[in-house]
Amino acid sequence: MEMTSTLSLGPLLFNWPADKARDFYFRMAEEAPVDTVYLGEVVCAKRLPFNQHYVPEVLERLQRAGKRVVLSTLALVMDKRDMDSVRAVVEMAGDIGVEANDLSAIALLEGRRFAVGPYVNVYNESTLRYFEEKGARHICLPVELSAESLRVLAAARKESTLEMQVFGRLPLAIASRCYHARAQGKHKDGCQYVCEEDADGLTVRTLDREQFLAVNGLQTLSYTYSHMLGELEALCAMGIHHFRLSPHDTDMVEVSRIYRALLDKKIDSGEAIRKMAVLLPDATFSNGFYYGNEGIRNIA
């Protein structure tokens, strides 16, 4: 693995209390060996009023610590309010990078350099080149791509660098309806922000009581955690050197240190996997998508 590989902290997907989220970013700024931090609300525009006030302070702390900051936009734009929030992010960004998670944001960013998030379907070479022509210089690929597809896209890129999520529950879908509210007997408009009660999402079980998915407001996530520690070397070999950690309610500083140590060849993948299992003893891990299998599977 090459020393040029970078770690990023993806946008916080969950509805944590504002003080908790602020303190989390402060600690990541000072202690975590991540190079880039994505900051912004991706899942639900209704959460924006509760986290906007701490963003300037967090942004300043991250930049002072030498982190590159990228502002992330909503993954689903449903009405004028949502569109206004996306437009506000683009307008306020200035010299700060923007990650577009919806085609409406890409339309606003045309003519500027920007990043594309994993919610935009970049599945083939033609789509990759299309967004490069629009100004995309960094693309975080969808989580369900196999190694074969990743290899093809890595070979096809011209203007952009590619990133892959390698830790955390995988974002699978997002919808206009809020299942999190419905599960608590509430409507979306009167949700009372019940998603705040589940720091890593609400577990969904099958009729056989098998833990299957997790719900986070409008978003559906995998129940399992991807960690991709055994696949980092192969990803680097195919030309993908940027790796995203998705924030969860655990010691994310230690998570980032495990990945950094592996990328720097201070530990091997076996030791990294053992350390992760100790850090998250109750988590179920998976890497099936990478091997062209069901995403829920964990293939040694």
**CATH number of the domain bearing residue 263:** 3.20.20.60
| Domain assignment present for 234 | yes
| Domain assignment present for 284 | no
DSSP per-residue string spanning the chain:
--TT-EEEEPPP-S---HHHHHHHHHHHHHH---SEEEES--S-GGGHHHHGGGHHHHHHHHHHTT-EEEEE--S---SHHHHHHHHHHHHHHTTSEEEE-SHHHHHHHTTS-EEE-TTS---SHHHHHHHHHHTEEEEE--TT--HHHHHHHHHH-SS-EEEEEEEEEEEEEE-SS-HHHHHTT--GGG-TTGGGG-TT-EEEE-TT--EEEEEETTEEEEEEEE--GGGHHHHHHTT--EEEE---SS-HHHHHHHHHHHHTTSS-HHHHHHHHHHHSTT--EE-GGGGTS-TT----
What's the confidence (pLDDT) of residue 251? Answer: 98
What's the confidence (pLDDT) of residue 1? Answer: 41
| Domain assignment present for 186 | no
What's the confidence (pLDDT) of residue 242? Answer: 98
| Domain assignment present for 15 | yes
Reply yes or no on whether the pLDDT at 3 is more than 80: no
| Domain assignment present for 204 | no
| Domain assignment present for 191 | no
In this prediction, residues 168-184 reach a mean pLDDT of 92
| Domain assignment present for 75 | yes
What's the confidence (pLDDT) of residue 234? Answer: 97
In this prediction, residues 124-150 reach a mean pLDDT of 97
| Domain assignment present for 1 | no
pLDDT in tens, 63-102: 999 999 999 999 999 999 899 999 999 998 888 999 999 9
Identify the domain containing residue 149 by its residue range: 6-170+224-272
Indicate the number of domains in the chain.
Answer: 1
pLDDT in tens, 7-29: 999 999 999 999 999 999 999 99
Q: Say what the pTM is.
A: 0.95
What's the confidence (pLDDT) of residue 266? Answer: 97
